[in-house]
Amino acid sequence: HRTVDPYADESERAAEAVLRPASLAEFNGQPRVSDQLGLVLAAARQRDAVADHVLLSGPPGLGKTTLAMIIAAEMSAPLRISSGPAIQHAGDLAAILSGLSEGEVLFLDEIHRMSRPAEELLYLAMEDFRVDVVVGKGPGATAIPIDIPRFTLVGATTRAGLLPGPLRDRFGFTAQLDFYDHTALRDILLRSAQTLGVDVVPDAAAEIARRSRGTPRITNRLLRRVRDFAQVRADGRVTLRLAQEALELFEVDHLGLDRLDRGVLEAVCRRFAGGPVGLSTLAISVGEEPETVEEVAEPFLVRQGLLMRTPRGRVATPAAWSHLGLTAPRGAPG
């Protein structure tokens, strides 16, 4: 299936797997989430119970899949991974659910993109650990209830608001992952550099962290690219100067905006005179799916104070104009 996350490339996935923290203790940068989740899991372990269902929301690359793996590890439970778009028929989900083992963790990525019938089947499964299998058609159809093993659902979504209320309400614990601060990303980078055996000087680490869009996945990806650059163009050691040159080559600017981010801002400023412009028009103009613009690019741009989402559409802020080196026309919004 097509995912909304343009960073979720297969080879990158494999490279990422090496750098995933394996326990809550190693999962840095989201202290509140770690504390709360740690407590929920410890309590379940003490009661010898299956952990409550967990909903993780936040932009791509902030650690939702990693946390699902950690939850399974901390509960010494097996993990099964699937995603909303992969489950189009309720029957697909019924098959997954009835195949789970007792206590298993089921990770459903992009859970907001599941089909409606599958969603309804999930309600009952989450609440009563039961699925209704419908046999026959029309007036003669009957629902046969089937018990399924007790399991922990870990749902991930880019925005909790995209989930229907009844589904959201069935999660016992909800965590909103936020963009990471620079210090946390620097620590993540230093740990990754150590794992990969890359020599990074401290100010280079800080610089790469600053330009990582608040996202650990991007920190690790930039580290790999800077490492390539250091290996081919220098002696492998990552100095500040070298990191800056490499980031420039890969078109990451000093705020960490990548091509998609800049494309969005430039479209709003240059083609739509600063806005307001509607999401679908904007998406067409940058050649992306609306979901990608909305769930991948915009959260960071809004967070950086470069873009505003208003009821009438997207509007560039004065900071956006100046970041692009443009002068806002008189009477421009923002």
Q: Is 19 annotated as a binding residue?
A: yes
Q: Is 103 in the site for ligand ADP (CB under 6 A)?
A: no
Concerning whether 253 is annotated as a catalytic residue, the answer is: no
47: CB partners within 8 A, 6+ apart: none
**Strand pairing partners for 143?**
134
> Binding ligand ADP by CB under 6 A: which of 57, 152, 220, 285?
220
Span interacting with ligand ADP, options 12-20, 40-48, 222-230, 253-261, rule CB under 6 A = 12-20
Q: Is 20 in the site for ligand ADP (CB under 6 A)?
A: yes
Beta strands in the chain (DSSP E): 54-57, 79-83, 105-109, 130-135, 142-147, 152-157, 173-176, 307-310, 313-316
* Shortest separation between residue 23's beta carbon and ligand ADP, angstroms: 11
Concerning whether 137 is annotated as a catalytic residue, the answer is: no
Q: Is 64 in the site for ligand ADP (CB under 6 A)?
A: yes
Distance CA 43, CA 40 (A): 5
Of 5, 109, 258, 261, the catalytic one is 109
> Binding ligand ADP by CB under 6 A: which of 4, 21, 110, 154?
21
**Which CB sits closer to ligand ADP, 94 or 291?**
291
Concerning whether 65 is annotated as a catalytic residue, the answer is: yes
b/e burial code for range 210-237 (CB count within 10 A of at least 16 → b): bbbbbbbbbbbbbbbbbbebbeeeeeee
Span interacting with ligand ADP, options 14-22, 92-100, 120-128, 271-279, rule CB under 6 A = 14-22
Residue nearest to ligand ADP (CB): 63
Q: Is 61 in the site for ligand ADP (CB under 6 A)?
A: yes
Q: Is 274 in the site for ligand ADP (CB under 6 A)?
A: no
How far is the CA of 48 from the CAs of 42, 43, 75, 127, in angstroms? 10, 8, 10, 19
CB 157 within 8 A of CB 108: no
Q: Is 62 in the site for ligand ADP (CB under 6 A)?
A: yes
Span interacting with ligand ADP, options 22-30, 230-238, 239-247, 249-257, rule CB under 6 A = 22-30
Written as six digits, the tokens of 218 are: 């991007």
Closest CA to 217 of 52, 87, 59, 49: 59
- Vertex 189: Cα angle to 186 and 190 (nearest 5): 90
Q: What is the dihedral of CA 206, 207, 209, 211, to 10 degrees?
A: 160
Of 217, 221, 227, 262, the catalytic one is 217
* 204 residue type, one letter: A
Q: Is 300 in the site for ligand ADP (CB under 6 A)?
A: no
Q: Is 209 in the site for ligand ADP (CB under 6 A)?
A: no
The annotated binding site for Mg(2+) is made up of 65
For binding to ligand ADP (CB under 6 A), which residues are involved?
Answer: 16, 19-21, 27-29, 60-66, 156, 188, 216-217, 220
Active site members: 64-65, 109, 158, 217
